[in-house]
Amino acid sequence: MTRIYIAGHRGMVGSALVRVAKQRGYSEILTRTHQELDLLNSQEVDKFFAVEKPDWVFLAAAKVGGIYANDTYRADFLLENLKIQINVIESAYKHNASKLLFLGSSCIYPKNAPQPIKETDLLTSELESTNEPYAIAKIAGIKLCGAFNSQYGTNYISVMPSNLYGIGDNYHPENGHVLPMLLRRFHEAKLNNDQTVTVWGTGKPKREFLFADDMAEACFYLMENYQAADIGELINIGTGEEISIRDLAYLIKKVVGYEGEIVFDTTKKDGTMLKKMDVSRLEKLGWKYKLTLEEGIRETYNDFINNPDVRL
């Protein structure tokens, strides 16, 4: 029986991994809250691994935040993420975990990477400055997994998901990502009978979105079927398809059932015009996402309206 430890199980990604693990028949799933296990404390982490001895480790725990937090608390984001990664990866090796999967972030790639972004674009030019400390920590985690594989023959896989959304997302009206933030905005406009909803920018930028449970399915697919040596240092997980922010807004309007008008505030900056992942490596390995964007948004909206805790 495979014992699975999911670090960061209460976040959107971690909770998706827990759901998919259960769906796939895994019964020995280890989780710990921050109060139960401080991943910044190397002694606590080592003790946990010594006692529980997980076979597989999914490292989804991280210190995360929006642009303001990333740019303001630069030392905290670098230091805390490095500590979490070092403690978990080193303890996994020390206590003989047979496999580990490390989750990266799209910010690891250069800010001006060619489109679609390939795994080989890593470290080819400079990073986006606002979240550079977080990105450097994630890159260090990828490199640490690769170094263990090279030196000790471990089987540590690093994956890079595209923009994720789904059950348990962050719906904060200002600090959330674009999809859940718009979902909340349209929902509240519907309740308040507002005549218009404002979307920042021209609506022209394009983004790629992946439902978190599909991402978790891809992670388990890789863990069950492949070795790190078969995959390379890093593998992208995504749909390989993009949608404009304008079309996304109209799709969310349709799902929510909002009947007013959409206004695009062109005085606001658009940001990067295109950010798409090259997922050909993953598709060649035999995995493809299941849910369409509309289906995923419906699942997410259902979570939003039925789970009051996520709307805080």
Residue span(s) of the chain under CATH 3.40.50.720 come to: 4-164+208-237
Distances from the Cα of 283 to the Cαs of 49, 93, 190, 211, 230, in angstroms? 34, 29, 39, 17, 14
Distances from the Cα of 292 to the Cαs of 156, 212, 245, in angstroms? 30, 12, 16
Candidate list 68, 73, 109, 134, residue with the active-site label:
134
Secondary structure of residue 133 in the 3-state scheme: helix
Do residues 91 and 39 make contact, with C-beta atoms less than 8 angstroms apart? no
Residue span(s) of the chain under CATH 3.90.25.10 come to: 170-207+242-275+293-311
pTM: 0.93
Per-residue DSSP letter, 308:
G
Query: Residue 203: what pLDDT?
Result: 94
Question: pLDDT (tens digit, 0 to 9) for every residue of the chain, 312 residues total?
Answer: 899 999 999 999 999 999 999 999 999 999 999 999 999 999 999 999 999 999 999 999 999 877 778 888 899 999 999 999 999 999 999 999 999 999 998 889 998 899 999 999 999 999 988 889 999 999 999 999 999 999 999 999 999 999 999 999 988 766 678 899 899 999 999 999 999 999 989 999 999 999 999 999 999 999 999 999 888 889 999 999 999 999 999 999 999 999 999 999 999 888 777 889 999 999 999 999 999 999 999 999 999 998 766 655
Query: Residue 190: what pLDDT?
Result: 96
Which amino acid appears at position 18 of this protein? V
Rounded Cα distance, 3 and 53, in Å: 8
4-164+208-237 — its CATH code? 3.40.50.720
User: For this structure, is 134 an active site residue?
Assistant: yes
Residue 263 burial (10 A CB sphere; 0-12, 13-18, 19+): exposed
Query: Residue 114: what pLDDT?
Result: 92
Q: Looking at domain 170-207+242-275+293-311, which CATH architecture does it have?
A: Alpha-Beta Complex (3.90)
Query: Residue 106: what pLDDT?
Result: 86
Rounded Cα distance, 62 and 39, in Å: 9
